[in-house]
Amino acid sequence: MDLNMNVNPPHSMGTTIIGVTYNGGVVLGADSRTSTGMYVANRASDKITQLTDNVYVCRSGSAADSQIVSDYVRYFLHQHTIQLGQPATVKVAANLIRLLSYNNKNMLQTGLIVGGWDKYEGGKIYGIPLGGTLIEQPFAIGGSGSSYLYGFFDQAWKEGMTKDEAEQLVVKAVSLAIARDGASGGVVRTVIINSEGVTRNFYPGDKLPLWHEELEPQNSLLDMLNVPSPEPMNI
Amino acid sequence: MNFMASTQPENRLLGPQSDSQRTLYPYVTGTSVVALKYKDGILMAADMGGSYGSTLRYKSVERMKPIGKHSLLGASGEISDFQEILRYLDELILYDNMWDDGNSLGPKEVHNYLTRVMYNRRNKFNPLWNSLVLGGVKNGQKYLGMVNMIGVNFEDNHVATGFGNHLARPILRQEWHENLSFEDGVRLLEKCMRVLLYRDRSAVNKLQVDVFLKMAPNQIYSLAKLLWSLT
């Protein structure tokens, strides 16, 4: 840090990913857009990938890099689970991801958020940004869309939310990021993990709130033309 | 499981092709660490910020950790490299304990180990992108040293990294003296950290302060008494 003050900020990564702990587990959320340059290669991608029954990871950055890292870690965790005789902990999964991210930092370009539930520590979220730093957090945001969410979370986040509050927060946040980040879009996917198991949810555009300068979607112009003219005012 | 081993590639002999392992630039970084010797030991302070370029991304990063029974390590620079250094030191301390010979590695030894690691990595053009402060007390002897990513290392009564060198050390040069009391030491450190908060863009108002003598648990707090009136 002393020698090279001109630090290169990293490339923006086309995604918004979020992981939030709540009182009882975690909620992971992501958008569904994969872009190659300006073209949307996949508008319905699933960026929340399973590692084990109780641990999932949100992927951002290079699709290839994040997929291969997840695949290796899933493979290692599978063997670890067999050897251990019980479900792997979130901490172990996060550390395996960190090991690959750190040791291959020159070649990989992927930021990951690991979230899950285990019987020892309950719900946990670990952020693993570029470079391979491992950081345990009550909530984590990542991807290019996350730039628009720092202020939002500073204000809206609170400790000890319920499952529904946490999911609503995640959905609201991803949808706010989609509204402003060109590299994020599509639908909002969420995964809720707690002691009872895993629940996947899906929120298409019409289920999301409208933000500034966004209009109520119409089926067709024709429906708008058939609306009768407004009544004159009674003054 | 070989894939996971964190070693330099064996294909060094292949020359320029073997560029695969080089830290080119840091991603998540910590800013200054400031430390000084006082009457009974060492006082060290660092803020809890992890910056990501110009964004103050993480605000609860512990950049100071105790090492063994006698030392404290503070780091600025790339956090992932600091986490890796902690793992190397874990192993070092473990092996030291396994000797079970009643001896334990003191701050001088740990500092020397770190210096060798940092300098050797620099020689291979694959530095650990950190500036480290190592302080501690063993058998009543106080020790405070610094080593950076190119292997420059030295010992002094007060040290700092990054911006701290430019802003804190002049203050320390003026006001530090032998046999500083604990209270005076804390006040001096806070004075330095306050200046850094005013003048360092990547500083965050959440400090971690550690005392090395009686292994007091480290304190995390925010600084008040910031003067903004422009008279």
The verdict on whether B29 is a catalytic residue reads no
Q: Any idea what the CATH number is for the domain that residue A156 is in? A: 3.60.20.10
pLDDT at B63: 96
* Chain A positions in Cβ-Cβ contact with residue B52 (cut-off 8 Å): 9-10, 129
Taking only the tens place, the pLDDT of each residue in A156-192 is 999 999 999 999 999 999 999 999 988 888 899 999 9
Q: Which residues of B touch A (CB under 8 A)?
A: 1, 3-6, 20-31, 50, 52-55, 57-58, 60-61, 76-80, 83-84, 129-131, 148-150, 161-162, 165
The answer to whether position A3 is within a domain reads: no
Mean pLDDT of B38-47: 94
Mean pLDDT of B186-192: 94
Give the pLDDT band (50/70/90) at residue A42. confident
The pair of three-digit structure tokens given for residue B110, joined into one six-digit string? 């740990």
pLDDT at A212: 83
Which residue do the tokens 């030191």 mark? Answer: B89
Mean pLDDT of A205-216: 83
The pair of three-digit structure tokens given for residue B170, joined into one six-digit string? 């002049």
The answer to whether position A7 is within a domain reads: no
Taking only the tens place, the pLDDT of each residue in B19-31 is 555 657 899 999 9
Mean pLDDT of B90-103: 96
The answer to whether position A165 is within a domain reads: yes
Mean pLDDT of B130-147: 96
pLDDT at A11: 47
Task: Give the DSSP per-residue string, A80-130.
Answer: HHHHHSSPPPHHHHHHHHHHHHHHTTTT--EEEEEEEEETTTEEEEEEE-T
pLDDT at B3: 41
Dist. CA B108–CA B116, nearest whole Å: 13
Residue B176: Cβ within 10 Å count: 18
Give the best-scoring range by mean pLDDT among A4-8, A230-234, B18-22: A230-234
What one-letter code names the amino acid at B226? L
The answer to whether position A9 is within a domain reads: no
The answer to whether position A77 is within a domain reads: yes
> Is B7 a residue whose pLDDT tops 80?
no
Could you give the percent of chain B with pLDDT greater than 90?
76
> Is B12 a residue whose pLDDT tops 60?
no
Give the pLDDT band (50/70/90) at residue B5. very low
pLDDT at A13: 55
- Who contacts A133 (Cβ-Cβ below 8 Å, separation ≥6)? A98, B27, B28, B50, B78, B79, B80, B83
The answer to whether position A1 is within a domain reads: no
Contact B30 A9 (CB under 8 A): no
The pair of three-digit structure tokens given for residue A59, joined into one six-digit string? 């992927």
Give the pLDDT band (50/70/90) at residue B103. very high
Domain count, chain A: 1
Give domain B33-227's CATH superfamily: Aminohydrolase, N-terminal nucleophile (Ntn) domain (3.60.20.10)
* Chain A positions in Cβ-Cβ contact with residue B29 (cut-off 8 Å): 1, 7
* Chain B positions in Cβ-Cβ contact with residue A4 (cut-off 8 Å): 25
Taking only the tens place, the pLDDT of each residue in A67-98 is 999 999 999 999 999 999 999 999 999 999 99
- CB-neighbour burial class of residue A123 (10 A; exposed 0-12, middle 13-18, buried 19+): buried
Q: Which of A3, A96, A131 sits opposite B78 (nearest CB)?
A: A131
Mean pLDDT of A220-233: 76
pLDDT at A3: 65
The answer to whether position A198 is within a domain reads: yes
Taking only the tens place, the pLDDT of each residue in A99-152 is 999 999 999 999 999 999 999 999 999 999 999 999 999 999 999 999 999 999
Mean pLDDT of A214-229: 78
Enclosing domain of residue A139:
17-226
ipTM: 0.79
pLDDT at B22: 64
